[in-house]
Chains A and B, each alone.
Chain A
Amino acid sequence: MRAVIRRAIGASLLTACLLALTASLGIGVAAAQTTLRMTWYSDGNEGEVMADLLRRFEDKHPDIHVVLDQVPFKAINENLPVQLASGQGPDIARVADMGGLARYMLDLRPYLKDAAYWEANYGPFLQWMRVPGDTSSIPGFMTQLTVTGPFVNKTLFEQAGVAMPGPKATWENWAKATKEVAAKVQAPFPIAFDRSGHRFFGMAISEGAAVFDDKGNPAVIDDGFKRAAKLIFDWHNSGVMSKELWGSVAGATYRGANEEFKNAQVVMYESGSWQISQFDKTIGAAFDWVAVPTPCGPANCSGMPGGAALVGIKSTKHPEEVARVLDYLASEDVVAEFYARSLFVPGHLGLARKGLDYKDASPVANAALKVFSDGVNQLAPAANQLQGYPASRVILNAVISRLGQAVSGEITLDDSYKRIAGDIEQQLAERNKK
């Protein structure tokens, strides 16, 4: 027995030594190569596409090795800020909260081959990634531009024999029409909104919400805002919207109705461009669906922009290599392939002007992508200002959290206005304690 054990220990010690040896050798080999870490999250297939593109990059640039760390979105949203604050971040990351993380981003400008190309094509979005006061840095590029907007189940309209409202129809027109359709075809959701601040503001801005005062400070509760909030609130009580999305969870938790839409239970679904690839795959020929332009309010017909950016991180030890990777990925051909294969609306002005050819998508999906790409031109200044505001999530989260409480009947609509204003004020005050 003892002998056996002694031998076992001896063997394990030996393997440990061997492992250590190979490890040190491995490091020796890798010294010629720079390894970069890219933290990435995926909604659909974009992770695979990125892995493909990186492989191609490495073939051309054998001195740089990029490791793609694919994490749940939760890690990007909740843990990455802490990691960045403690100086433990990756070299490159895909982030959605661009304004919030702007202070950790690397300015690529000094390392880029052609900064003018970046400015010409990513110009308006770069402002979203900059800290207030900064007008020149180039932290990264948009992996995806999202625009909010509605999808409509056309087949349900046909079955009900109701005419679909036209392109300049108002929200009220749509509410009336969808209610009628839903009643006739027994669909439980005439209109569904994702439980998200972006979706709400997509409507509120068209109702006239200005969000900011003249000095650029948040002044969220105004008449336009109240008009939109009242509409949402009333729709929940009159059955145009179901409480399952807005009323069923607390805080800023996201809830979507994509599954319900896919099951033909939703007549009109206010969501956004990122749904297209999934709908194309899962709905198939079950029914006809279309994207329609965002309905109008008294002020305009704007949706809300959003998206995710791939940015360099300031704490990297290899800024030059980071810039080379991003320069490659942001170049027109490569980024065009990325958008086309993942069915994203391009966040690249040149490509947006030319129009992208989504080879893998069906005609239905191509048509929907076109509607959303056109929607980019309809965006109101307030929508872009809100998206570019560094503390935009403070506003969006407070709104969704408190309106949710009002919808569920926990507090009154008037109380929710007070709470929204109070929440925003408190959080901004906390941020300013220095």
Chain B
Amino acid sequence: MIDLPDGIGLQAVPTASRLARLRRSGATILGAVLRLIDRPMGLLQRLIGERRMVYVFLLPNLAFFSLFVFVPLAIDLAYSLTGGESLFPSQRPYVGTEQYAYLFDCGSFFDPASCRVDHFWRGVANTMRFTVFQLVSMVTFSLVTALVLNMRIRGRGFFRAVYFFPVLLSPVVVALVWKWILQRDGLLNAGLTMIGGQKILFFVDPGWAMFWSVFVSVWAHMGFYTLILLAGLQAIPADLYEAAQMDATPRWRVLVRITLPLLWPNLIVVIVLAMIRGVQTFDEVFVLTGGGPGTATLMIVQYIYETAFASQVQNFGLAAAASIVLGVVLFLLTLAQLSRTRSAS
């Protein structure tokens, strides 16, 4: 059985008064409508017994999952084993594992240029690089920000809002704003020339393009992760700090010995979610860099999207094969990650 470490993320300790307050605030219209379900649900329970009620709870979510995730995945599998341009799997000729063979036709897997579908493999390499950089900077900056926001600072609410605000923006808007800032005639280059520097063409240099892709991604989503870490920080019992203070423990030691270990469950959530984000990245980076220069920031999801949609011969078969490969790798990665954290806890 896969079991997640208990209490990852957000912990709750209820109190009687809070309970009452929340219950009162729960008396919304929605609450009223759903209260109508009480009676039939009670009847149902009497009919099928308490033990089977769990399936009733699972059913709606699983129904949605099956309809909009599992069935599509099955269709994707069907696509990947067929060829041609037709949209309906039944009209597509069966080609066996041809698409996969084509995808994996490489001289060496470490050199994308030696592959027939070099863009896919460049996408894989770029996505891995991006995910690692993004993960490290996301964790670092959200941790620092959470620690700072956890100090007693004037205007804490305001600063919290400031760091959270970009999370509200759509990826397209985020990328557009930054593109305008970073382009040749953008705000940043205007600033650079004003202080006597040279203009830098950020989107022509592979290193800069990757740097800004990571930067913008961290900029846009840091607020969310900061929030999770902040929740964890505030859940650390105050007496631990008091004890440390009695012993006049230096601050860095408090951080390393008390704060970080107790924050670990929340950090796991941040790491898992940030990793998922990294692998799934598409629209932000696409609008910002267009996957360039060359293919230096071409991500795997962009490759799949373009193969299926943007090319004139909409190659659903190849795109589906790439999706299936990606899906399998992601599944294994998540499992590995979670079993590691389980054994660690």
Contacts and interface: CB of A to CB of B under 8 A. Distances in A.
Q: Do chains A and B touch in the complex (CB under 8 A)?
A: yes
Interface of A: 1-2, 5, 8-9, 77-79, 81-82, 85-86, 97, 100, 188, 242-244, 247-253, 255, 259-260, 263, 265, 391-394, 397, 404-405, 408-411, 415, 419, 422, 426-428, 430-431, 433-434
A247 B295 CA distance: 9
Contacts of B296: 250, 408, 410
B204 A248 contact: yes
- Most chain B beta carbons < 10 A, residue from A247, A255, A419: A247
B317 A430 contact: yes
Interface string B300-330: 0010001001111111011000000000000
B290 A263 contact: no
A244 B84 contact: no
B201 interface: yes
Given A82-B87, A431-B85, A408 B294 contact: yes
Contact of A251 (B33, B291, B317): B291
B207 interface: no
Given A1-B27, A408-B292, A411-B113, A263 B313 contact: no
B92 to A, nearest CB: 8
Contacts of A430: 83-85, 313, 315, 317-318
The 6 closest A-B CB pairs, nearest first, are A249-B290, A250-B291, A408-B294, A410-B294, A433-B83, A393-B312
Given A394-B313, A427-B313, A431-B85, A248 B289 contact: yes
Contacts of A391: 312-313
Contacts, number: 132
B315 A253 contact: no
Contact of B290 (A248, A392, A397, A410): A248
B298 A251 contact: yes
A248 B312 contact: no
Nearest to B95: A433
B86 interface: yes
A260 to B, nearest CB: 8
A251 B204 contact: no
B116 interface: yes
Contacts of B95: 433
A252 B203 CA distance: 16
7 contacts: A100-B312, A244-B204, A247-B204, A250-B290, A265-B185, A433-B93, A434-B84
Given A5-B32, A82-B87, A247 B313 contact: no
A313 B119 CA distance: 35
Max chain B Cβ within 10 angstroms of own Cβ: one of A2, A9, A408, A411: A408
B9 interface: no
Interface residues of B, number: 45
A357 to B, nearest CB: 37
B185 A263 contact: yes
A139 to B, nearest CB: 18
A243 B291 contact: no
B161 to A, nearest CB: 32
A302 B289 CA distance: 32
Given A250-B296, A253-B292, 4 more contacts: A247-B294, A250-B295, A252-B306, A253-B290
B313 A253 contact: no
B306 A251 contact: yes
Contact of A405 (B289, B294, B310): B294
A431 B85 CA distance: 6
A196 to B, nearest CB: 13
A245 to B, nearest CB: 10
Contacts of A100: 312
Interface string B257-293: 0000000000000000000000000000000011111
Contacts of A248: 203-204, 209, 289-290, 292-293
Nearest to A407: B294
A404 B294 contact: yes
A77 to B, nearest CB: 7
B116 A422 contact: yes
B85 to A, nearest CB: 6
A372 B118 CA distance: 39
A265 B189 CA distance: 15
B184 interface: yes
B48 interface: no
A252 B311 CA distance: 8
B19 interface: no
A160 to B, nearest CB: 21
A431 B84 contact: yes
Contacts of B311: 252, 393-394, 397, 427
A244 B310 CA distance: 22
Contacts of B292: 247-250, 253, 404, 408
Contacts of B310: 77-78, 251-252, 397
A291 B327 CA distance: 51
A128 B93 CA distance: 29
Contact of A408 (B293, B314, B315): B293
Contacts of A9: 32-33
Nearest to B291: A250
A431 B290 contact: no
Given A251-B291, A433-B93, A78 B309 contact: yes
Question: Which of A2, A82, A428 counts the most B-chain CB atoms under 10 A from its CB?
Answer: A82
B204 A5 contact: no
Given A247-B294, A427-B315, A430-B315, A79 B309 contact: yes
Given A248-B289, A430-B84, A431-B85, A188 B312 contact: no
B86 A410 contact: no
Interface in B159-210: 184-185, 201, 203-204, 206, 209
